[in-house]
Structure 1
Amino acid sequence: MPQVGIVATGAYVPDTVVSNEEVARGAGVTDEWIVRKTGIRERRRADDRDATSDLAARAARAALEQADVAPEDVAFIVLATSTPDHPQPATASIVQHLLGAVNAAAFDINAVCSGFVYATAVAERLLRGAGEGRYALVIGADIYSRILDYSDRKTAILFGDGAGAVLLGTVPQARGIQETSLLTRGDQYRLISVPAGGSRMPASDRTLREGSHFFRMDGRGVRSFVQDNLPGALHELLDRAGVGRDQVRHFVPHQANGVMLGEVWPQLELPGATMHLALEKYGNTGSASVPITLDVAHRKGEFADGETVLMAGFGGGMTVGAILTQWAPTAYARAAAQHVTATVA
């Protein structure tokens, strides 16, 4: 069976920048309060004409272009989102059409902010059974600006819009995805929700009046969930993979809240790792946050051949997902290294 790993990354964030001052006014807080509580200074907002599929397709194109792979060569598209274009059809089907990836089986996954990690785990297993030379696009995309109550300071200050993608393909042995871990605590599903719009509470005049279509979150409960579940999930994954905690060189977490991540960081016991953050500029982009942050770090050249990269998502459901990978230089990274060598010579 082929060894599967990340062969390219891509991301897309909208052009419109929304400052802390703008969201602070509606939420009854200040710029200083937002920075102190979250570490976020700005976020992006999608154009009114764009849907989640538009952002997802742009991020996917960036990954395909980085790898110089044609859309027709993609076998699978797995899209993680909790803000789909429509209840049905799957937003991934629309992305397939926008890309012209006519040979790809396409479907959505909703594990909220863990979605990208869940989707990557699924796509990796699909590719292992598909044979050499096949590709899968894994995309995380969300437009949370459409479901926020801008008077709710617990949520309005956190979220931005965006999309990130990775292209999975065959990599050398001893590289690529080594281990995955997926955890769901359904007994705590009420911590994060959009109550209305589904079969339990269909849309009605009453749900609209009550604001039941807005995103709701128990911030303290979520913080406790992350502190109680994330460290153990990561340690169990590393133990199962036979990788020491001091061997991890890069940690790419869901960009939920910079202050919360700073609080849980000592519990993770990763002394040799750099925690990568992009939330200061982009906020919490839901299922897009891990692949956007991964793309930012990758394009800066921060991952070296063979380095251990640990990605983790956590969010509604409640869910935790983690992926351990040994980095393999992508075509983009190899081209950059050759350019540097040629310049020095």
Structure 2
Amino acid sequence: MKIAFFGSSLVSAYWNGAATYYRGLLRALAAKGYDITFYEPDVYDRQKNRDMDPPGWCKVVVYEGTIDALKAVSGSAAEADIVVKASGVGFEDDLLLEEVLGHARPQALKIFWDVDAPATLAELKANPDHRLRRALCGIDLVLTYGGGDPVVNAYRAVGAADCVPIYNALDPQTHHPVPEDIRFSADLAFLGNRLPDREARVEHFFLEPASRLPDRTFLLGGSGWQDKPVASNIRYIGHVPTRDHNAFNVTPTAVLNVSRASMAENGFSPATRVFEAAGAGACLITDDWEGIEFFLKPDEEILVARDGQDVAALVAGLSRQSARKIGESARQRVLTEHTYTNRAEAVDKIFRARLGARMEAAE
């Protein structure tokens, strides 16, 4: 079966948090025999900051960030059995959705894949005439990478025929244990771009604990933090390319996950960083959110902090030996239950069941 997937970027993780998710899931679907073409616009300097070549398991089509190029490439939807428009493509998203749905064949399975459901749902709530809300009547299924029942119910309430979460996971081929790298030495490290929906929580869960523990070392990675006032025991290293993520995760005593506010409020929304870190065998400290135990067991496979004071206490009391034990337990759990192979099994069943039912109805 042919999939036409319109997303932000497969070949660049630059200002593109969905890259790991796309790569892991689409590679696993390709292994099941799907013929996938990924369409991405040349915007936000992503093509200048590629961190992988187009893979053998998926054809990548890069189009110019112009209306004419968008309209031309959207015609490719007519060739696919399954047409996917992802959220957050980054160039004329509403128009792209309209064009893709307009070109898709009537018998094709039409999917909106939301990689930031809380943000999308907030837009729909604020704007009853939102183009996505109007388009939902022509979409067969909404898939999201997190959110649980709150997101599923919210999507159904605004007109989605159905909504199914397909959670982030681990791709063992890309995220795995590696030797430590002195560049990333620290007692606690955090990697994440500076975003309005997360900055206050980073201050609370990372900057504040650093000020409480002046004798400990903290490492901050990600884009946009260069002008942020931080304590002297925090070392800022800027953007960390994906090729260095494994070393970034395994070298510090622990790494920190800080959810965006909207993700924490909805729960059941583990960031890709959670599975990247666990796959490398890192000891992960996360802010508290509903549903953590569905993915990793608190105190044994992950450490949970309610606030910055909890983070400081955990860092102060954590030995390298106990950190490594927690990290290895997390790695074994995600290898067993939370790989993209696991997720692709679920997606494959959904695709085949829905296309099969459509074929039977047409006979």
Scaled by the length of structure 1, what TM-score is found? 0.29
Tell which structure's C-alpha radius of gyration is larger: 2
Return the structure number with greater relative CO, CA threshold 8 A, min gap 6: 1
Scaled by the length of structure 2, what TM-score is found? 0.28
